[in-house]
Amino acid sequence: MEGTRLFAACVGLMLSCTYANYGSWMNLGMQGLDVWRNPQIYVVGTSPLCGRIPGLSPGQRKLCQLRQDHMSSVGRGARAGIAECQHQFRHSRWNCSTVDDSSVFGPVLQIPSREAAFAHSIAAAGVVMSVARSCRDGQLASCGCSQAARPDHLDDEWVWGGCGDNIHYGYRFAKGFVDVREKEKKHKRGSVKFARSRMNIHNNEAGRRSVIALTKLNCKCHGVSGSCSAVTCWQRLPAFREVGDLLKDKYDGATEVTVTRRGRLRVTDRRYRRPTPEDLVYIQESPDYCRKNSTLGSSGTTGRTCDRTSQGTDGCGLLCCGRGYNTQHVTVAERCSCKFIWCCKVQCKTCRRERTIHTCK
């Protein structure tokens, strides 16, 4: 029944079929999150919710059914990953913009590029973070506060306890959920899809490990009037911005690899060192993302705001790919001449200021 309907949809709309091929689990981050808060409302007939979210692979649907209470965390993790990606790439030609279908980023990330490496790693990191936090907050049935062992370097007098973020659980769940789709289909060794799966698995792991590498220790004083006679410490997640910054560095230093028939990664240029599990890898050089190309899924840089004086990726030279830029004078309203009025408010005037904006041709 399901198969027949899918077939009919494919014949009627070739496009949606090719799109269905590369639907992404990150689509969970694009769906309204309330869906998961109150699932019974949305279950139509006998079809469970997990079967109705486009982008999940069969294995992910099973995990979704088994751990439905985790799905709102997975969605939040994916959404945070996408937002962080857009922050990190706001000054680049490819700006991590999303499209309105279950592929999330459109056809452009079909290319096994550095950008695809980054997107996979940051989304996997997002899931580790949000699941680890949900465990701590008691939102999930199968996990609670961190059970991590006491670190060796902790002062003997300090208590290891409190309720830490369960990074170990977040890591394990993210590994199972995110990687399963790369393992369930047996691609022919040496094929493009086989290589891409190995690349994704490597970059997902690099993303998850970045969270572990940045995990913090939080300590708190107790005692009468701040005497700090007792200290309790626990494990805490890093800020997601730190994870984004680290993975952006890994992106800048990503290694081009080929995948052997046995599934090993081999450095393309032997002068470079072998990538560690913490590094990002890619198989193909990126397109230049300069012009709009709908086959490729590149939106081009025409109309992007650039900085006339910058020599970096946000500068008009690089961002506009040498096409030049338009200059516009606009008037913006700003708060100015603010005064503190006793007590307690701030009163400002509105000033109009001329601003010059440059946009790529």
Ligand X SMILES: *[C@@H]1O[C@H](CO)[C@@H](O)[C@H](O)[C@H]1NC(C)=O
Interface residue list for ligand X (CB under 6 A)? 86, 95, 97, 287, 293, 295-296, 299-301, 303-304
The least CB distance from residue 54 to ligand X, in Å, is 21
The least CB distance from residue 221 to ligand X, in Å, is 42
Query: In the chain, where does DSSP find H-type helix?
Result: 2-12, 14-21, 34-37, 39-42, 58-66, 71-88, 114-136, 167-183, 192-213, 240-252, 316-319
Structure tokens at 332: 């913006």
Nearer to ligand X, 252 or 285 (CB): 285
Nearer to ligand X, 218 or 326 (CB): 326
Nearer to ligand X, 90 or 189 (CB): 90
Q: Which backbone phi and psi does 56 adopt, to 5 degrees?
A: -85, 145
The least CB distance from residue 301 to ligand X, in Å, is 6
Nearer to ligand X, 295 or 350 (CB): 295
> How far apart, in Å, are the Cα atoms of 352 and each of 177, 328, 330?
52, 16, 10
Q: Is the peptide bond before 344 cis (omega within 30 degrees of 0)?
A: yes
By C-alpha distance, which of 58, 179, 84, 67 is closest to 134? 67
Nearer to ligand X, 236 or 304 (CB): 304
By C-alpha distance, which of 237, 231, 214, 74 is closest to 164? 237
Q: Hey, which residues does 356 pair with through a beta bridge? A: 329
Nearer to ligand X, 97 or 139 (CB): 97
What does the alpha-carbon distance between residue 318 and residue 310 come to, in Å, rounded to a whole number? Answer: 9
Nearer to ligand X, 93 or 196 (CB): 93
By C-alpha distance, which of 103, 94, 97, 63 is closest to 82? 97
Structure tokens at 215: 């995990």
By C-alpha distance, which of 49, 47, 17, 15 is closest to 32? 49
Contacting residues for 215 by C-beta, under 8 A, at least 6 apart: 165, 167, 235, 236, 237, 238
Nearer to ligand X, 227 or 294 (CB): 294
